[in-house]
Amino acid sequence: MITPFRSRRLRSVNRPALLTLTGAGLFLASLDAYVVVTALLPMLKSVNIAANRPEQATPIITGFLLGYLAVMPIAGGLSDRFGRLRLFAASLVLFAFGSFLTASAPSLSQLVTGRVLQGAGGGALVPAVLALAADLYPAGDRSRALGAVSALQEVGSVLGPLWGGVITASSLGWTWIFWLNIPVAALLFWALWPEIRGGGEVRRAASLDWLGALLATAGLALLTLALYAASPERSPVGDGFVWQAPLALVCFVLFVWHERRTSHPLINVRRFRDSSFSGSALTNAIAGAGLMVALVYIPVLANAAFSMNASSAALLLFRLMLGIPIGALLGGWLAQRLRSYRVVAALGLVLAGIGFLMLSGWNEGSLTPHLLGLPFTVADGELFLTGLGLGLEIAPVSAALLDAVGEEERGAGASFLIIMRLVGMLVGFSLVAGFGLWEFHRATAHLQVPLPSLNPDFATQYALWLLKVKQAIFDQYHLIFRATAIALFAGAALAALTLRPLVRPRWQ
């Protein structure tokens, strides 16, 4: 059934079908973000790298994220200038080509190249699909659509490691994780081809702000390096902080100066005068920092303090990740029902902050008490609450920012929204992690490992030393989780004060 739809970009489409097809492409790309985590050892073996050199696997993981971040500043502008569906199709082809290179890689260099191209294709899909959802539905009705799209993306991230583990453990082998991407991408391209060929979208002159993208990327990279504590026993920030941080600031100042003067800016920086726009951007960055802390430190805590293996630690994190897509769907529905972005976004960040405060009270016995006699533990509930809160803010914050920009800038706005989340993930995580590790080294610097030779009290002293080290580990994570909770509460206050009320639709 064709639904009449008045739009400068799409004259008449089946909106649910179009959003389902493009959402499926976004889901496919999000699966691959963390899919390699459970396939790293066989991937390294296939390119003749020994299993005892795990540091060489780092580019396989970071390659995808590098491509993802590199393309994000210009992806939204490309969708504004060429059309959402045209960019979606081109990105899908790039993602499939990257999958081919990864699956057929005879060397580590081709493996990493394939992952970078997958990330670039997958990253460009995000603003295209978010902006398309905003195009298809009017201002008052789009929060549910954005919530559904965001939930698909989060579900893909949750299921990626599990999917990778299943395929790797099967008789097919790890390469089929990526071979299977190609026919799925081809099927989606074929299904969307009639709409792409129909040319229902407006095409504008493509003048892209490459200098702005370069300045923004350089500033972000320098700031991340400045805050990364490579030697936390000496400093909570990076060794080059004294020159990297000022240079990052110079890049950001030049970026703002350039964006105010160019005729086709990457992002209209004058939008920051709009409290709803700036509040949404900063709120999204804070939520991204909270998510990154959870993704990294919950599995590490499970391993270091609870002596869990990798699969058990992944299942512990799964409790939190399960709440994110549920929260994303619920947040879109609640924003629509309550007619308020600010209430739902603030509620989500408050719930996430409460969840992190609960996590900051964990000790050795925290994973065993059951919740009200149910087969679930109290820890399961705390993790789910944290994920639910992080998911709840996604749709209202996204809708508030996209409502604040004009139709001509919606793709760039969607891209900027994701960039701010990545900024929060990289910068906020680096800052919290640096100070947490620095505090841990301060707390353990005076502890001396007891030596067994000629020491009649060695067993007692060693047990006491282990107890103090484990307590220092818990204290470190308590500090990290409490700092994250405070940041999330600040984000909730920011959302409550700045986000505009939901706009009622003027037409259907």
At 358, the pLDDT band (50, 70, 90 cuts) reads very high
Residue 10 contacts by C-beta under 8 Å, 6 or more apart in sequence? Answer: 18, 135, 136, 195, 200, 201
Strand partners, 13: 3
Percent of the chain topping pLDDT 90: 18
**Under 8 Å between Cβ of 386 and 356:** yes
- CA 128-132-137 angle, to 5 degrees, is 160
pLDDT at residue 506 in the model: 47
Q: Is the pLDDT of residue 484 over 50?
A: yes
DSSP assignment of 52-92? T-GGGGHHHHHHHHHHHHHHHHHHHHHHHHH-HHHHHHHHH
DSSP 2: P
Instruction: Give kind and range of the element (H or E) at residue 12.
Output: strand 12-13
Assigned token pair, 39: 């396939």
Which amino acid is residue 110, in one-letter code?
Q
Residues in the chain: 508
Higher pLDDT: 412 or 87? It is: 87
| Alpha-helical runs (H) found in 228-266 | 241-261
pLDDT at residue 92 in the model: 92
Distance CA 354, CA 31 (A): 29
Is the alpha carbon torsion for 356, 358, 364, 365 positive or negative? Answer: negative
Distance of CA 48 to CAs 42, 55, 56, 461, 492, Å? 10, 14, 11, 45, 49
Distance CA 19, CA 148 (A): 9
**Under 8 Å between Cβ of 127 and 80:** no
At 247, the pLDDT band (50, 70, 90 cuts) reads very high
pLDDT at residue 232 in the model: 60
Q: Is the pLDDT of residue 487 over 90?
A: yes
pLDDT tens digit sequence for 145-162: 777 777 777 677 767 767
Other CB atoms within 10 A of residue 140 CB = 17
At 297, the pLDDT band (50, 70, 90 cuts) reads confident
pLDDT at residue 349 in the model: 96
Assigned token pair, 70: 């590199």
Question: What torsion, rounded to 10 degrees, do the Cα atoms 47, 51, 52, 55 define?
Answer: 60
Q: What is the mean pLDDT of residues 360-388?
A: 84
DSSP 451: P
Distance of CA 508 to CAs 4, 86, 502, Å? 10, 25, 16
- Phi, psi angle pair for 454, to nearest 5°: 50, 40
Q: What is the mean pLDDT of residues 278-306?
A: 82
DSSP 501: P
Higher pLDDT: 378 or 201? It is: 378
Instruction: Give kind and range of the element (H or E) at residue 481.
Output: helix 458-498
Quote the pTM value. 0.69
- CA 43-47-49 angle, to 5 degrees, is 90
Distance of CA 7 to CAs 81, 200, 245, Å? 16, 9, 44
Distance CA 101, CA 28 (A): 17
**Under 8 Å between Cβ of 49 and 108:** yes
Question: What torsion, rounded to 10 degrees, do the Cα atoms 360, 366, 370, 371 define?
Answer: -10
